[in-house]
Amino acid sequence: MLPKSRLFSALLVGLGVALIVAGLVAPRFLLGDGRFPLDLENTTYTLVDDDARFEDESTPVTRQMHLEIQNPADDEMVSLRMGNSLFHGEEADQLDNLVTAETWSWQMNRVTGDPLDSASLSSVMVMPATKVDMGGPWIKLPVENDADEVNLFDPMLRRTAPAVREGEHQLLGRQADSYAQTIEPTNLAREYAAMQNTKTVEDGEGNAQQLYLTYEAKRVLTVDHITGLVIGITEDVDMYYADADGNRVENYVTYAAETSGNDARMKQLERVASQGTSRNATIVVMTLGGVLTLLGLIGAFRPEGRRKS
């Protein structure tokens, strides 16, 4: 029977080897570089302004974005579908209160957030689906992004617009970055063709006048620094019909709102570590495993002292 010292040394060797193996294989099973998680559950962003305006009436306005994670998906990419809708009135789910409703489908790089192909856009206003070159990330920025400016996709523009990094703060013990995106008044009819982008009215003299849907917005995005995932949105949006010179003629939709549930969206990311944290933890585990293995081997092969007669 082995002496107790040899048994203890063997246990140290076994534990040390186990820690080394754990350090080697852990990156395969843990999100250690902030890439987009595939098991997110809280993926609905709802913004409500109870004192908004639709045309010339004071009424609640609700914007809702619902993200669905779909297949195919692997270590590098994921397929996403985003429902983006805007309603007015007390009952936001009534079809008569619909302002816009569309569904975006695209494939995204899980690390950078960049689209890997053109997005497919389906709208209740337009059939069939159309292809849109997004040109940049939408709901997720690059992991641990420190750039002062990033071009983010705006679905109303159907292209990107600059977002400037304003600062950072702590949210549930994680770093959250703030990005401000300003959209100057933009004639949407010059951006793309859509039914609601133009309308014809009569001017004061009874002549036909062409009007153009104009879009203006200021928003602040709250972004989890490690994953780059958008956690919260605060936005002030003004859409109206203007003449060819950009002069406001008719109101359309005006609201100022922010998302609720930002804490819940951040909390579901608590298990996602940064690349640096994951690397340091792996080094510590493997180093400890190496030390225990070395101590165990020294104890196992150390000569036993002579027994007293």
pLDDT of 300: 59
- State the Cα–Cα distance between residues 141 and 114, nearest whole angstrom: 8
Average pLDDT over residues 126-144: 91
**pLDDT above 60 (res 5):** no
Domain boundaries, the chain: 4-28+277-301, 31-272
pLDDT of 205: 78
The values of phi and psi at residue 33, to 5°, are -135, 15
pLDDT of 180: 98
Q: What is the mean pLDDT of the chain?
A: 86
**pLDDT above 80 (res 94):** no
Average pLDDT over residues 271-283: 58
Lowest mean pLDDT among 46-60, 76-90, 149-163, 275-289: 275-289
Q: Name the residue with higher pLDDT: 87 or 90.
A: 87
| Sequence-separated (6 or more) residues with CB below 8 Å from residue 295 | 9, 12, 16
Predicted TM-score (pTM) of the model is: 0.80
Q: Express each pLDDT in 157-166 by its tens digit.
A: 999 999 999 9
Average pLDDT over residues 280-303: 57
pLDDT of 169: 96
Q: Name the residue with higher pLDDT: 278 or 139.
A: 139
Percent of the chain past pLDDT 70, that is, above it, reads 76
- State the Cα–Cα distance between residues 275 and 205, nearest whole angstrom: 66
Q: What are the contacts of 155-162 at 24+ separation with CB within 8 A?
A: 155/82, 155/84, 155/102, 155/104, 156/183, 156/188, 156/215, 156/217, 157/183, 157/186, 157/188, 157/191, 157/215, 158/121, 158/132, 158/191, 158/192, 159/133, 159/134, 159/135, 159/191, 160/134, 160/135, 160/136
pLDDT of 1: 47
**pLDDT above 50 (res 256):** yes
Q: Is 61 helix (H, G, I), strand (E, B) or coil?
A: strand
- State the Cα–Cα distance between residues 219 and 234, nearest whole angstrom: 5
Q: Provide the 8-state DSSP code for 111.
A: T
CB atoms within 10 A of CB 305: 6
pLDDT of 6: 54
| Sequence-separated (6 or more) residues with CB below 8 Å from residue 147 | 165
Q: Name the residue with higher pLDDT: 81 or 93.
A: 81
**pLDDT above 50 (res 105):** yes
pLDDT of 204: 75
pLDDT of 19: 53
| Sheet with 61-73, edge to edge strand ranges | 44-49, 61-73, 77-88, 98-109, 119-123, 130-132
Lowest mean pLDDT among 24-33, 81-90, 265-274: 24-33
Average pLDDT over residues 18-36: 62
Q: Do the Cβ atoms of 26 and 33 come closer than 8 Å?
A: no
Tokens, residue 42: 């809280």
**Closest CA relative to residue 257, chosen from 28, 46, 109:** 46
**pLDDT above 90 (res 124):** no
H-helix or E-strand containing 267? helix 262-267
Q: Name the residue with higher pLDDT: 65 or 11.
A: 65
Q: Express each pLDDT in 190-236 by its tens digit.
A: 999 998 999 999 877 778 999 999 999 999 999 999 999 999 999 99
**Closest CA relative to residue 8, chosen from 293, 305, 307, 300:** 300
Average pLDDT over residues 141-150: 95
Q: How confident is the model at residue 51 (pLDDT cuts 50, 70, 90)?
A: very high
